[in-house]
Structure 1
Amino acid sequence: MKQVFAFNNKEDFDRYQDKTVILYQKLDVYRLELEKNFGLTELPRGIVWTTHELATMTFSTIPIPAFTSRELIFMSPDVVSWRKLFLEQLEGQKNEKIEAYYKNLKMDHIATILGHELTHHSDLFVDEFGDEREDGIWFEEGMCEYIPRKLMLSPLEFSEIVEIELELMKMFRKKYGSHSINDFGQGSYEGSLTSIMFDYWRSFLAIRYLVEEQAGGDIMSVFGKYQQWNQEGRKVPLSEHFNVESMFSL
Structure 2
Amino acid sequence: MKHIYAFEKKEDFETYQKRIDQFKKGLNDYQEILKEKYGLKTGPRAVVWTSEKLATEVFSDVPIPAYTNKDIIYMSPDLSEWRTLFLKQLDGIKIPYIEHFYKNYSENQLFTILGHELTHHSDWFLDEFDDDRDNGIWFEEGMCEYLPRKHCLNETEFKEIVKVESELVDIFKGKYGINSIEEFGSTTYKGSLSSIMFDYWRSFLLVKELVEERANGNVELIFKIYHEWDEKGRKVPLTEYFEAEFTK
TM-score normalised by the chain length of structure 2: 0.97
* Shift of residue 13, structure 1, vs aligned partner: 1.1
Aligned to 2:31: 31
Supply the distance in 1 between the matched residues of 2:119 and 2:129 (Cα, whole angstroms). 13
Supply the distance in 1 between the matched residues of 2:60 and 2:242 (Cα, whole angstroms). 33
Aligned to 2:147: 147
Output one character per residue of 1:193-250: Cα deviation in whole Å (capped at 9) or x when no partner. Answer: 0000000000000000000000000000000000000011001011111239xxxxxx
The amino acid across from 1:114 in the alignment is L
What are structure 2's unaligned runs of at least 5 residues?
Answer: none
The amino acid across from 2:219 in the alignment is I
Aligned to 1:231: 231
Identity across the alignment (%)? 53
Supply the distance in 2 between the matched residues of 1:89 and 1:80 (Cα, whole angstroms). 15
Output one character per residue of 1:69-98: Cα deviation in whole Å (capped at 9) or x when no partner. Answer: 232000000010111111111100100010
- Runs of 4+ aligned residues of structure 1 deviating over 4 Å after TM superposition are none
Aligned to 1:47: 47
The amino acid across from 1:6 in the alignment is A
The amino acid across from 1:116 in the alignment is H
Matched ranges for 1:154-165 at <5 A: 154-165=154-165
- The CA RMSD over aligned residues, in Å, is 1.0
Aligned to 1:18: 18
Residues 212, 218 of structure 2: 8 Å contact kept:
yes
SS at match of 1:63: coil
What are structure 1's unaligned runs of at least 5 residues?
Answer: 245-250
Query: Which range moved further: 218-227 or 128-137?
Result: 128-137
Residues 132, 186 of structure 2: 8 Å contact kept:
no
Output one character per residue of 1:77-132: Cα deviation in whole Å (capped at 9) or x when no partner. Answer: 00101111111111001000101111111111111000000000000000013322
Supply the distance in 1 between the matched residues of 2:222 and 2:97 (Cα, whole angstroms). 32
* Shift of residue 15, structure 1, vs aligned partner: 1.1
Supply the distance in 1 between the matched residues of 2:206 and 2:71 (Cα, whole angstroms). 29
Supply the distance in 1 between the matched residues of 2:64 and 2:131 (Cα, whole angstroms). 21
